[in-house]
Amino acid sequence: MRSKLRGDKAVITGAASGLGRSLALALAEEGWRVGIVDIDDAGANETLSLVERAGGAGEVMHADVSDPESVKAFAEHFFESWGGVDLLVNNAGVVSAGTVGEIRLEDWQWIFGINFWGMLYGCHEFIPRMKEQGWGHILNVSSGGATISLPWIAPYNTTKSAVKSLSETLSIELAPHRIGVTVACPYFFKTNLLSDMRYTDEYERSWANSTFDHARMQSDEVARKIIAAMKRNKLYVIPQLKGKVWWFLMRTTPETSYMMFRLTNRFRLLKPVGNLLSRWGLF
Ligand SMILES: NC(=O)c1ccc[n+]([C@@H]2O[C@H](COP(=O)([O-])OP(=O)(O)OC[C@H]3O[C@@H](n4cnc5c(N)ncnc54)[C@H](O)[C@@H]3O)[C@@H](O)[C@H]2O)c1
């Protein structure tokens, strides 16, 4: 049997900003204690102040999720000092965009280190400890990039697809241990994600910024929808309606959908169409 979300102690990576901060605040409002893990100490302390102002409690821990020793250290710290952790949120993430062959290998390594290995290290350290305590829940923050493979953003798509696949596998493996797994696949919403974005062409930066500027749902609402899905022990959560529509399309008609993308790009129309769709808030 898979578990329903229970407990009141959560550890959230990347909680200094954006979705991580919104999740921390929403959980704090429900009485959860939150472990705020990030490389950005100033942002993490600001999240802690907001959590405390919301009537909650928390603790900041500096850690780089791409470093396995740091992840082990915060897992040990929270399990020992709190006497257990009920929820791990693997949320820290970055964006690298560009054309394959032009994207620097060090940028591939950078994004895989955080988006994939960071999540894997979290799972590696928390799963045995959760098995020992007899329950838990893991929320992995993937992306709409795991449901539709848009061009010029392959490093992001591939890391997020790996996270989605890992989460699907874990949901089955962990079922006998009363550990639930949820994978969130939000489409674009405005956060600080693009401030450290790596890219090879100005188009990628301006397209991504345009999707952020035209996103209708904001991170607090994304967080609320994710928490509601975890409470129902859902494996997948795609918070925005546009995301559900894209996912349905890509799953039911993948051959036709990718053929349409290829044709549009062959006639050099994909970038202008992409700009238009981003301005309409459709990504
Ligand atoms: N904003 C979107 O449109 C969107 C859409 C889909 C998925 N996501 C995912 O949501 C998650 C949160 O992103 P966000 O949009 O809130 O961005 P954000 O930049 O506001 O927050 C990301 C946080 O991760 C932290 N971080 C980065 N590298 C780290 C590292 N090595 N170790 C520890 N912390 C690190 C940053 O300091 C930051 O506080 C990411 O995984 C992102 O891929 C975002």
- Give 33-83 pLDDT, tens digit per residue: 999 999 999 999 999 999 999 999 999 999 999 999 999 999 999 999 999
Please enumerate in sequence order all residues whose Cβ is within 8 A of that of 195, keeping only pairs 6 or more positions apart, or say none. Answer: none
Q: How far apart are the CA of 97 and the centre of ligand 1, in A? A: 15
Q: Decide the pairing of beta strands 57-62 and 33-38.
A: parallel
The C-alpha angle 241, 138, 149, rounded to 5 degrees, equals: 45
Contacts of 2 (CB under 8 A, 6+ apart): 171, 174, 175, 178, 179, 180, 181, 233
Domain 9-279, second-level architecture: 3-Layer(aba) Sandwich (3.40)
Nearest CA to ligand 1 atom 43: 93
156 catalytic? Reply is yes
Q: What percentage of the chain exceeds 90 in pLDDT?
A: 98
Rounded distance from Cα 47 to ligand 1 centre (Å): 14
Tell me phi and psi for residue 248, to 5 degrees.
Answer: -60, -45
Q: Can you give the residue ranges of every domain in the chain? A: 9-279
Instruction: Say what the pLDDT of residue 1 is.
Output: 43
Residues with CB under 6 A from ligand 1: 13-14, 16-20, 38-40, 43, 64-66, 91-94, 114, 141, 143-144, 186, 188-189, 191-193
Tens of pLDDT, residues 196-254: 999 999 999 999 999 999 999 999 999 999 999 999 999 999 999 999 999 999 999 99
Phi, psi for 80 (deg, rounded to 5): -75, -50
Distance CA 33, CA 109 (A): 33
Q: Specify the residue with its C-alpha closest to ligand 1, atom 19.
A: 193
Which of 62, 109, 191 for a ligand 1 pocket mutation test, highest count of atoms within 8 Å of Cβ?
Answer: 191
